[in-house]
Amino acid sequence: MAPLTHYLVLSSIMFAIGVWGVLRNRNALIIFMCIELMLNAANLSLMAFSSYLKDYTGQVLVFMVMAVAAAEVAVGLAIIISIFRHKESVNVDNVNVMKW
């Protein structure tokens, strides 16, 4: 395996890309995908630590994160579908009813 810092740096790069993507896009689905990207980056980080500290706790956490991510995707996509039904578009800029 590569040194720990390499994994961590990779993880940070992926995370930053995910952040950039969330802020940059207007398509709800692509935003969602970027969120998944961030989650994966976190998973990578967890796994790296777990390996280097020889502690299984990290892997268990990865497990949990994956489960949660799956659940989140399910519900989130359901929401997007509902919104799409009303608005015929997935442009997040159209969802602005909560203006002051």
| Segment 62 to 91, residues that bind other proteins, using CB under 8 A | 62-64, 66-75, 77-82, 84, 90-91
28, 90 Cβ separation under 8 angstroms? yes
Least CB distance from residue 39 to other proteins, whole Å? Answer: 9
Residue 99 burial (C-beta neighbours within 10 Å; 0-12, 13-18, 19+) = exposed
- How many Å apart are CA 66 and CA 47, to the nearest integer? 12
Kindly determine how many residues on this chain lie close enough to bind other proteins according to the rule CB under 8 A: 77
Least CB distance from residue 94 to other proteins, whole Å? Answer: 10
Instruction: Find the binding residues for other proteins in span 16-45 (CB under 8 A).
Output: 16-27, 29-30, 32-34, 36-37, 40, 43-44
Residue 11 burial (C-beta neighbours within 10 Å; 0-12, 13-18, 19+) = buried
Least CB distance from residue 63 to other proteins, whole Å? Answer: 7
